[in-house]
Amino acid sequence: MGEQQEREPGGRHQATPEPTVTLSPSAELPAMGEDELDLLRQTGRSWAEALRDRRNVLTTLPLDPGLGRYRSPPTPTRFGRFAPVEMFRVAEPGEPDELVATGPSGEAESLPGRMLARIRRTILGPPLTSAAVVHERMRKLVALPVLSSDLLSSVAYGPEAMLTVLALAGSSALVLSLPIGAVLVVLMIVVGISYRQTIPAYPHGAGSYIVAGDNLGRRVGLAAAAGLIIDYILTVSVSVAAGVHAVTSALPGLMPWTVPFGLLAIAVLLAGNLRGVRTSGNIFAAPTYLFIVAIAVLVTVGLVRAASRGFTPIPPEPVAATRSTGLLLVLLAFSSGATSMTGIEAVSNAVPAFRAPEWRNGRTTLTWMISLLVVMFVGLMLLIHFDGVTPRADQTLLSQLAHRTFPTGPWYVLIQAATALILLFAANTAFNDLPRLLFFMARDGYVPRRFLHMGDRLAFNNGLMALAVAAAVILVAFRGHTESLIPLFAVGVFLAFTLSQAGMVVHWLRKRGPHWRKRLTLNAAGTLLSGVVLLTAAITKFTEGAWVVVIAVPLLILVALRVRRHYDMVRVQLTPHPSRLNVARPVNPPSVAETSRRATGPEKAEHRPDSGEEEGPQTGEEPETEESPQEIWHLVVVPVERLNLAALRALAYAVSIGQPVLAVHISPSEDEAARFCQQWDAWGDHVRLELIVSPYRAIVAPLACYLEALHALRPDVTLTVILPEIVVRRRWHQVLHSNVPRHLRRALRQLPGIVVTTVPIHIPHAGVQRTK
């Protein structure tokens, strides 16, 4: 089927909050611009010249394309792949004149197929219609734990990462943890306030990518996106690895099962998020609140006990020094401790997931998150200092603090369980944000457009599965060792932070709204502090693994630019233009009398669709006996996704056959159907069009069932289905385009009386000019 139109990034945002962009299924088929509609009008005039007075011949169909004469659904033949579900309903009076696919997608007839469908339904839940996207939003009390789980859980390993570096200089260097922690608190507040300013200025989500791209250029925006992609993938790996480590700290016998447990946790997170935003939020909210309560109890009891001894610190255990204390060591400890801020950008990336008003609810939630982070981080740092705990290989700092604070009773187990749960489910933040980032990048043409597609539960299934697979590969490669992953983690996180804050500095310089100098100063401070962490982490941890990120970011940018280059070429090749269409010659379809004879058949006059008689579905099986040209009556059907050059060529080929032609458009929503009608009207409505609204976003199953219904209505009519298909020269380009034509051919191959023809549209290599 044809490709969607490109959208240019940049210049879309205002200084004041705008209506938030809805991440809807209709994004796969964006509206045409006025220039494109003008081209369609010119093309339509060329078609009118070519067809002249023969339009009635082409539009006189041998059957009713609206299936309006059915009182019950057609019975599939034994060749059918779909069970007899009621797939369509006819529009009621006052509704648009279109069919609506009432079944989710159709179910397989085989026993294994039905079993798989039931398992899928049990795990994921029933499918949601496209109209439900406005209800799949999170309220603040659900969004807080879902989006803050990554941020708040980082206090379980951020302070430990900082102390592990300081311990290299011996026990005496651990006293530096408090002043370094104080600087980190300042960084948290500055960056948090900066993102508070970003939310109303850019309420569309995907914050760092959009902000950097709009203000610093598309390559800088792609660098921020690359940092976010690495951030989210490593968030899953680090969080799951840390969660499993918390479990094995309490139960050392489970240490050999670290990697299998981590993979199981990723699978559970994937399944939960495939159920949709609202459902996954309700599932994964409890662990975050449990962790907040557990840390609050731990810090409160620990500080009360420290107060009972006059806040006198307990001397830490002696640690042998392997490095001298210096500026480089302090900077390294600072950058390691800064991992306590990972996830602070989550709200700005997920603003569309909030209930209206989205930007205001998002900003409020971010304020709560920053406040909780600062309180928890300060409390834990003070408790670590007063209790004199030091990093150990066999036990986490939180486990040591819990042991000392609660030597008996159930509280130690509760704290460890809460820590393990939030670390495991902290990855849920990445599962919420990365698919949305990929959605925006796909909309701009930098990643495959299949990341625009919403699954049965209105989740971005392709983005979720890509994240799960990438995180699982990294987890296995590093054998679940958190310490090996953190050096990679910090660079990607603070690259996005730095570019986002720098973009906001340019934004205020351009917009200069109320209090813009104060806002610019805050963002400049955030840029400076985040940049220090980024450079320190990249330099000091380069040999420890950060080199992977330093190399990966430019590679991701290069790949994104190559993908965009290909989509730009496809857009140019598929843009309709009269000079490219060879339709100036008049077409010569059969005469009206011949078409009427074929529409009724020599002995089937009683089945004319306009005769007013009731006609039900054809039952039973009739042998395929068409052995001569006189026994074949045609209807040419052209599925049209978008009126671009691919669709117009398929329609031109269909018209050239000289038989009645029916165009069919499958739309995921009423809004998109209305947009397509605008394109069709601009072109000129030269052939009959049937609109089918597929509220569950399926394409292949509704179209196959519709064609089967047409064949059941008139088994004596041969349906010739003409599919436009993009043909690319490079193998890797295939993943950038839809597989719908191939899947549709496979589905229709099983149906009798249906012939499938492909009209290929060849896309040349970059730099190859089209021959006009």
Residue whose tokens read 């399944």:
271
Q: What is the mean pLDDT of residues 546-555?
A: 86
The sign of the CA dihedral 161, 166, 172, 176 is negative
The whole-chain average pLDDT of the chain stands at: 78
| Strand locations in 92-238 (E) | 99-101
For residue 327, with 0-12 CB atoms within 10 Å meaning exposed, 13-18 middle and 19 or more buried, which class applies?
exposed
- If one counts every other C-beta atom within 10 angstroms of the C-beta of residue 326, the result is 10
Which amino acid is located at 693 in the chain? V
pLDDT band at 85 (very low <50, low <70, confident <90, very high): very low
Phi, psi of 727 (to 5 degrees): -120, 120
The secondary structure element, H or E, covering residue 457 is none
User: Could you tell me which residue, 205 or 340, shows the higher pLDDT?
Assistant: 340
Going by the DSSP 8-state scheme, the letter that residue 236 receives in this structure is H
Q: Facing residues of 215 across strands?
A: none
CATH architecture of the domain formed by 130-568: Up-down Bundle (1.20)
What the block records as the tokens of 623 is 């042998």
Which amino acid is located at 600 in the chain? T
Contacts 24+ apart (CB under 8 A), 178-183: 178/381, 178/382, 178/385, 180/330, 180/333, 180/334, 180/337, 181/337, 181/377, 181/378, 181/381, 183/334
- If one counts every other C-beta atom within 10 angstroms of the C-beta of residue 648, the result is 25
Alpha carbons 101 and 87: distance in angstroms, whole number? 5
Residues 493/227, Cβ–Cβ less than 8 Å: yes
Alpha carbons 544 and 733: distance in angstroms, whole number? 35
Alpha carbons 79 and 378: distance in angstroms, whole number? 68
Determine which of 14-18, 51-55, 546-550 has the lowest per-residue pLDDT on average.
Answer: 14-18
Beta pairing class for 633-639 and 99-101: unpaired
Q: What is the C-alpha end-to-end distance of the chain, expressed in Å?
A: 23
Residue 372 is predicted with a pLDDT of 94
| Res. 614: pLDDT tops 50 | no
Residues 580/461, Cβ–Cβ less than 8 Å: no
Contacts of 153 (CB under 8 A, 6+ apart): 239, 242, 288, 291, 343, 422, 423, 426
Degrees (nearest 5) of the Cα angle 140, 145, 150?
130
3-class SS at 720?
A: strand
pLDDT band at 603 (very low <50, low <70, confident <90, very high): very low
Which amino acid is located at 191 in the chain? V
pLDDT band at 125 (very low <50, low <70, confident <90, very high): confident
| Res. 261: pLDDT tops 80 | yes
Residues 414/294, Cβ–Cβ less than 8 Å: yes
**CA-based Rg of the chain, rounded to a whole angstrom?**
31
pLDDT band at 113 (very low <50, low <70, confident <90, very high): low
pLDDT band at 94 (very low <50, low <70, confident <90, very high): low
Residues 170/363, Cβ–Cβ less than 8 Å: no
Residue 92 is predicted with a pLDDT of 58
What the block records as the tokens of 479 is 């054998």
Chain centre distance of CA 489: 22
What the block records as the tokens of 767 is 């730099």
Alpha carbons 147 and 350: distance in angstroms, whole number? 8
Residue 674 is predicted with a pLDDT of 85
Residue 605 is predicted with a pLDDT of 35
Alpha carbons 24 and 134: distance in angstroms, whole number? 9
Domain limits, the chain: 25-124+590-602+626-763, 130-568
Residue 184 is predicted with a pLDDT of 92
Degrees (nearest 5) of the Cα angle 276, 281, 286?
150
Q: What is the mean pLDDT of residues 417-444?
A: 86
Range with the largest mean pLDDT of 383-387, 458-462, 705-709: 383-387
Q: What is the mean pLDDT of residues 412-430?
A: 84
Sheet harboring 88-90: ordered strands across?
A: 88-90, 99-101, 688-693, 661-667, 633-639, 717-728, 754-763
Alpha carbons 86 and 91: distance in angstroms, whole number? 14
What the block records as the tokens of 314 is 């307990």
Residue whose tokens read 């969004």:
143
Alpha carbons 205 and 29: distance in angstroms, whole number? 20
Rounded alpha-carbon distances, angstroms, from residue 398 to 155, 287, 374, 636: 9, 16, 17, 70
| Res. 637: pLDDT tops 90 | yes
Beta pairing class for 633-639 and 661-667: parallel
- Identical fold, 25-124+590-602+626-763 and 130-568: no
In tens, the pLDDT along 265-274 reads 899 889 888 8
Determine which of 10-24, 294-308, 570-584 has the lowest per-residue pLDDT on average.
Answer: 10-24
Range with the largest mean pLDDT of 357-366, 367-376, 400-409, 762-771: 367-376
Residue 10 is predicted with a pLDDT of 39
pLDDT band at 150 (very low <50, low <70, confident <90, very high): confident
Phi, psi of 349 (to 5 degrees): -85, -20
Residue 219 is predicted with a pLDDT of 92
Alpha carbons 641 and 653: distance in angstroms, whole number? 16
The sign of the CA dihedral 132, 134, 135, 137 is positive
The string of DSSP letters for 248-273 reads: HHH-GGGGGGHHHHHHHHHHHHHHHH
Phi, psi of 241 (to 5 degrees): -60, -40
- If one counts every other C-beta atom within 10 angstroms of the C-beta of residue 238, the result is 32
What the block records as the tokens of 413 is 């187990």
User: Could you tell me which residue, 283 or 679, shows the higher pLDDT?
Assistant: 679
Alpha carbons 542 and 549: distance in angstroms, whole number? 9
Degrees (nearest 5) of the Cα angle 186, 187, 188?
90
Residues 636/661, Cβ–Cβ less than 8 Å: yes
Furthest-apart CA atoms within the chain: distance in Å? 105
Residue 77 is predicted with a pLDDT of 43
Q: Facing residues of 717 across strands?
A: 633
| Res. 353: pLDDT tops 70 | yes
Residue 6 is predicted with a pLDDT of 38
What the block records as the tokens of 619 is 């039952």
Alpha carbons 477 and 471: distance in angstroms, whole number? 10
Residue 220 is predicted with a pLDDT of 93
Sequence-ordered alpha helix ranges (H) in 575-659: 592-600, 645-656
Chain centre distance of CA 42: 36
Which amino acid is located at 69 in the chain? R
| Res. 3: pLDDT tops 70 | no
pLDDT band at 564 (very low <50, low <70, confident <90, very high): very high
Going by the DSSP 8-state scheme, the letter that residue 766 receives in this structure is T
Residues 668/75, Cβ–Cβ less than 8 Å: no
Phi, psi of 762 (to 5 degrees): -85, 125
User: Could you tell me which residue, 141 or 764, shows the higher pLDDT?
Assistant: 141
Phi, psi of 451 (to 5 degrees): -75, -5
pLDDT band at 136 (very low <50, low <70, confident <90, very high): confident
Q: What is the CATH number of domain 25-124+590-602+626-763?
A: 3.40.50.620
Rounded alpha-carbon distances, angstroms, from residue 587 to 325, 405, 722: 86, 88, 18
Alpha carbons 505 and 601: distance in angstroms, whole number? 73
Determine which of 551-555, 564-568, 592-596 has the lowest per-residue pLDDT on average.
Answer: 592-596
Residue whose tokens read 């951020």:
158
What the block records as the tokens of 170 is 């011996």
